Amino acid sequence: MVECFVGEGASSPARETAARCAAAGVPCKLLEVRVGDTRTPQPVFALARLERRGIEALDGADLVLVAAEIGDPGNAGTLFRSAAAGGAQVVVLGPGSVDAYNPKVVRASAGACFAIRVVEAVPTLEVLEALGAGGARRLGAVAHGGDVPESFDMRAPTALVLGHETRGLTTGMPLDGRVTVPMRAGESLNVAMAATALLYEAARQRRSGA
């Protein structure tokens, strides 16, 4: 962390956070004006160096979420929250996706984008080939025609692959299977909701051993 700022009217917990930063040697400053791009900004701000990761972030991961082209910040933030909660180690945002650290993504992720390895701007084909070479089963999420999630053994290294929010998966992606979340009614699930269902099936299998 490079620098920390705390609002003049900040609560005790916010001030305690700033105090811990100061104790760790981070310069802290008191803000006398309201700063932020939301109506009710948080009372603590910090500047930190951002580490951008490449395809090497896939090393050692056994549950990966590959989002080939996600444009909506809310969807991306939800993907981060669900991936972190479901035990995925890496989220890949392919070319054409929203920036992982867009302020709207960070807010929607509730900070989960900082708790998980993120790969950006690497061609999706390159990512999928690397995952396949590393022994991961690459499962493409499709609205219709795929196998049900529980038919796949997600205890083994698995990559869940998501397509564009409206166009879906690109033709020709190297996949080892296609998975569809069963629905009683409706045409399809929102991409972030579908990913959440698949991540929690993977987590369920890993908890129960089956």
- Residue 58: the pLDDT is 96
Domain coordinates in residue numbering, the chain: 3-47, 55-208
Question: Which residue is associated with the tokens 């699930």?
Answer: 189
Alpha carbon distance, N-terminus to C-terminus of the chain: 42
Decide: 174 and 129 in contact? Cβ < 8 Å: yes
5 pLDDT tier (thresholds 50, 70, 90):
confident
Which of 69, 93, 68, 96 is closest to 80 using CA atoms?
93
**More confidently predicted of 44 and 87:** 87
Which run of H or of E encompasses 46?
A: strand 44-47
The DSSP element (H or E) to which 113 belongs, if any, is: none
Lowest mean pLDDT among 11-25, 83-97, 157-171: 11-25
pLDDT band at 48 (very low <50, low <70, confident <90, very high): confident
Calpha distance 187→11 (Å, rounded): 46
> Once rounded to an integer, what is the mean pLDDT over residues 7-17?
78
Q: Residue 16, SS3?
A: helix
User: What is the distance between the alpha carbons of residues 129 and 135, in angstroms, rounded to a whole number?
Assistant: 10
- Helix, strand or coil, per DSSP, at residue 168: strand
Say if CB 88 and CB 62 are below 8 A apart: no
Given this model, what pLDDT does residue 33 score? 61
Chain Cα centroid distance, residue 58: 14
Whether 210 shows a pLDDT value over 80: the answer reads no
Instruction: Read off the pLDDT band of 38 (50, 70, 90).
Output: low
pLDDT at residue 155 in the model: 96
Question: Over 90: is that where the pLDDT of 26 sits?
Answer: no
Q: What is the pLDDT of residue 154?
A: 96
pLDDT score for 13 = 81
Position 20 pLDDT exceeds 90: no
Q: Enter the CATH code of domain 55-208.
A: 3.40.1280.10
